[in-house]
């Protein structure tokens, strides 16, 4: 099955500084992994910039304008918190990362493709409505979901997040709206300290915390036992995936023991739900993953499953 791959070289220009884990080499590793004969059938396109209207479906206008106004000189940077840093190229990179999700939604909803993967950075799932944090500026997955509703009339969108860190920003953006389901597996305790199973929103939030050291079997059990049944019952018309690969056993920022076959298994399960309820429509956006080798091989496993499932 043809899969759309959206990326943009501007996403390499977001530079949080030496030794920062969310570095441009992450995207280079992903793109190199997908630059081979096995992935020659990918439909490749450039990620556009998100518009102000698209961003403001999720974030207050004054917040969006304040973030985009931060344009440090080349070589300079502005820290927004201890982890979230803007360089000269960060504003355009953030616009492209959000715009990739929007363009992917347009492509799958128009029937041009059924699945898409957005190889962009910075990530987005920690960005709250009016607060950047955790390397994130805009809530890319929620912006994509809101665009599907506003521009294509979809009534129910599911956001599925398997990043090792809980997507506090995604949850905060949708927890009061039953038209969007948010389901997450994540290590706990771990940054940002949210994601307790008792956090349910208006019945649309499903969190599966995993203890440090949990392996692929525990990861699969969390999804098969609670999260996937919740998504199935919701019957989404589109699946938006926050694809973070830092639950991998090699990742330096957490202590889960997930491997490439586990990511491929979950991807195939999500595609199955999409086939049953959403006309096959899946939009996946890159989130975390900080061991370059594990990020590359895990992304390849994920995209391979999008193509084959």
What sign results for the dihedral spanned by CA atoms 138, 240, 24, 4? negative
Instruction: Say whether pLDDT at 1 is over 70.
Output: no
d(CA 54, CA 31): 26
Instruction: Say whether pLDDT at 227 is over 70.
Output: yes
**1 vs 74, more confident:** 74
Q: Mapping DSSP to helix (H, G, I), strand (E, B) and coil, where does residue 44 land?
A: strand
Mean pLDDT (whole number) for 276-298:
98
Instruction: Say whether pLDDT at 294 is over 80.
Output: yes
Helix pair 90-109, 140-152: axis angle to 10 deg: 40
For residue 282, give the CATH number of its domain: 3.40.800.20
What was the pLDDT predicted at 54? Answer: 99
Q: Which of 126, 165, 186, 302 is catalytic?
A: 126
* pLDDT class of 42 with cuts at 50, 70, 90: very high
d(CA 160, CA 104): 16
Q: Beta 77-79 vs 85-87: how paired, if at all? A: antiparallel
Q: Is the entire prediction scored with pTM above 0.95?
A: yes
pLDDT tens digits for 160-209?
Answer: 999 999 999 999 999 999 999 999 999 999 999 999 999 999 999 999 99
Average pLDDT, the chain: 98
Instruction: Say whether pLDDT at 290 is over 70.
Output: yes
Mean pLDDT (whole number) for 7-20:
97
* pLDDT class of 309 with cuts at 50, 70, 90: confident
* Number of structural domains found in the chain: 1
Task: Name the token pair of 278.
Answer: 């959403």
What was the pLDDT predicted at 116? Answer: 99
126 included as an active-site residue = yes
Contact 85, 133 (CB under 8 A): no
Largest CA distance in the chain: 50
d(CA 257, CA 40): 30
d(CA 97, CA 61): 18
Mean pLDDT (whole number) for 296-300:
98
Residues of the domain holding 148: 3-308
Instruction: Say whether pLDDT at 2 is over 90.
Output: no
Angle value at C-alpha 212, between 209 and 214, nearest 5 degrees: 75
d(CA 116, CA 225): 27
**pLDDT-above-70 percentage for the chain:** 100
pLDDT tens digits for 49-103?
Answer: 999 999 999 999 999 999 999 999 999 999 999 999 999 999 999 999 999 999 9
- Of 186, 78, 53, residue with least CA distance to 137: 78
What was the pLDDT predicted at 61? Answer: 98
């Amino acid at each position: 099955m043809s899969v759309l791959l959206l990326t943009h070289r501007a996403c390499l220009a977001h530079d949080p500084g030496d030794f920062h884990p969310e570095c441009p080499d992450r995207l280079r590793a992903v793109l190199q992994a997908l630059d081979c004969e096995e992935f020659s059938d990918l439909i490749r396109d450039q990620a556009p910039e998100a518009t102000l209207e698209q961003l403001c479906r999720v974030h207050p206008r004054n917040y969006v304008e304040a973030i985009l106004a931060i344009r440090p000189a080349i070589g300079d940077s502005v820290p927004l918190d201890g982890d979230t840093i803007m360089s000269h190229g960060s504003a355009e990179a953030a616009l492209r990362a959000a715009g990739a999700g929007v363009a992917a939604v347009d492509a799958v909803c128009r029937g041009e493709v059924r699945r898409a993967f957005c190889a962009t950075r910075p990530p987005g799932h920690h960005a709250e409505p009016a607060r950047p944090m955790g390397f994130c500026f805009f809530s890319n997955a929620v912006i994509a979901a809101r665009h599907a509703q506003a521009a294509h009339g979809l009534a129910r969108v599911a956001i599925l997040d398997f990043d090792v860190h809980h997507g506090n920003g995604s949850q905060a953006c949708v927890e009061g709206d039953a038209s969007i389901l948010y389901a997450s597996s994540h290590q706990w305790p771990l940054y940002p300290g949210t994601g307790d199973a008792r956090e349910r929103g208006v019945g649309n939030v499903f969190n599966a915390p995993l203890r440090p050291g949990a392996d692929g079997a525990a990861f699969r059990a969390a999804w098969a036992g609670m999260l996937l049944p919740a998504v199935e019952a919701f019957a989404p018309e589109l699946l938006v995936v926050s694809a973070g690969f830092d639950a991998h056993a090699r990742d330096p920022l957490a202590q889960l023991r997930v491997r490439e076959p586990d990511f491929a298994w979950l991807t195939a399960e999500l595609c199955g739900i999409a086939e049953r309820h959403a006309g096959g429509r899946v939009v996946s956006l890159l989130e975390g993953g900080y061991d370059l080798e594990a990020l590359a091989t895990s992304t390849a496993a994920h995209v391979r499953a999008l193509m084959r499932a």
